[in-house]
Amino acid sequence: MSKQLEDFIKANREQFDDLEPRLGLWNKIEGQLNFEQEEPEQPKKGDVRTFSLGFVLRMAAIIIVVMAVGFMLYIQKSAGTKVDYAKINPEYAQQRIRYASMVQAKRTELKELTKTNPELYKEFSADLTKMDSTYNRLNKDLATSPNQERVLRAMIRNLQIQTEVLNQQLNVIEQYNEFKDQQQNETKSI
């Protein structure tokens, strides 16, 4: 059927071409097309994009919820940094408690014995302060360490060393006090 239509149009072509459009018709159509295309490209002066109050409130609510969730996660992470030493290794946890209490007791004893000589206590406490800072750094690293048992052993070793150093310092103070007492006894006997 389409073949017959084509043949008919070819045969009667001259009868279809007798009507021609006006001369300015195509220019008029082209002008309207260009005008419609150029119109959205030109920004209008004073044309400001506005948002409805509902949209602004929804965006503010979303921002508040996101910030609240972020803050909760931060607080949860901060609170979760406490480490249960017994979960890592119960034996090491007991050792840590034992050595920490020994260190505390020896520090108190050292402080009592050096009341008469504060310069000596100041010198001794400088060494202990360095070891304390190392212990605190290890304690802080324990929460994020992949090998927590190893860090806990290092903390215990630090406490052991502190105990040994305190014992040596106490011995030195006792010897110093004995020497001082001997000198006083000798001066009294003369």
Q: Which residues contact 133 (CB under 8 A, 6 or more apart)?
A: none
The one-letter amino acid code at 10 reads: K
- Structure tokens belonging to residue 34: 């260009």
CA-CA distance, 60 to 38, in Å (whole number)?
Answer: 37
Write the pLDDT tens digit of every residue in 149-174. Answer: 898 899 999 999 999 998 998 888 88
Cβ neighbours of residue 143 closer than 8 Å, sequence gap 6 or more: 80, 81, 82, 83
**What's the burial of 165, exposed, middle or buried (CB within 10 Å: 0-12/13-18/19+)?**
middle
Between CA 27 and CA 53 the distance in angstroms is 47
Record the tokens describing residue 81, joined without a space: 């940094």
Task: Read off the pLDDT of residues 80-117 as tens digits, 9 standing for 90 and up.
Answer: 557 778 888 889 889 999 999 998 998 888 888 777 77
The residue ranking higher by pLDDT, 77 or 127, is: 127
| Better-scored residue on pLDDT, 44 or 157 | 157
CA distances from 22 to 19, 28, 98, 188 (A): 10, 10, 109, 141
| Residue 104 to residue 127: CA distance in whole angstroms | 15
* Per-residue model confidence (pLDDT) at position 84: 79
Based on the number of CB atoms within 10 Å of its own CB, is 20 exposed (0-12), middle (13-18) or buried (19 or more)?
exposed
Single-letter amino acid, residue 181: D
Distance, CA of 75 to CA of 61 (rounded, Å):
21
Q: Is the pTM of this model over 0.95?
A: no
